[in-house]
Amino acid sequence: MKILVSACLLGMPVRYDGRSKGLVSDWLSRLGAERVLLPFCPEVAGGLPTPRPPAERRGERVVTEAGLDVTAEFDRGAELALALCQREGIRVALLKEGSPSCGSGRIYSGRFDGISLPGEGKTASLLRRHGIAVFSEDQLGELASLLTAS
């Protein structure tokens, strides 16, 4: 089974601040040995540089704190993630919580105030609409249960 994984969770420095989140755990290491993990950053794939200004969702739009609309890049990255999943037969994704691309349960408010609210990023939402199960790094237990059952 192949699993799409936010590249930043695998230690790749692709986040807006040029860093990674490096979710390196025994569980993820074992998972990688047993499954094919495909790293992907929708924001970079969509054409945004690293580093880049932070961005947050405001409804269907994604904007930087300075007001620059980067929705097209986020939408392009989401479409490319979906295309990769469809091409590779990927049915499961592990994405970075809070991200305007990858957040699967919470995203920032859109006011750049550090407050997160229930919501989904562009990529997580698109993948779910196409039947791909999306998990965050806070749901590793649920993901493990799904993988064990399959």
For 114-147, write each residue's pLDDT tens digit: 999 999 999 999 999 999 999 999 998 898 888 8
Q: Report the 3 state secondary structure along the chain.
A: CEEEEEHHHHCCCCCCCCCCCCCCCHHHHHHHHHCEEEEECHHHHCCCCCCCCCEEEECCEEEECCCCECHHHHHHHHHHHHHHHHHHCCCEEEECCECCCCCCCEEECCCCCCCEEECCCHHHHHHHHCCCEEEEHHHHHHHHHHHHHC
Mean pLDDT computed over every residue of the chain? 92
Question: What is the structure's pLDDT at 148?
Answer: 80
Other beta carbons within 10 Å of 68: 11
Q: Encode pLDDT of 73-127 as tens digits.
A: 999 999 999 999 999 999 999 999 999 999 999 999 999 999 999 999 999 999 9
Give the count of domains, the chain.
Answer: 1
**Could you list the residue range(s) of the whole structural domain that residue 123 is in?**
2-149
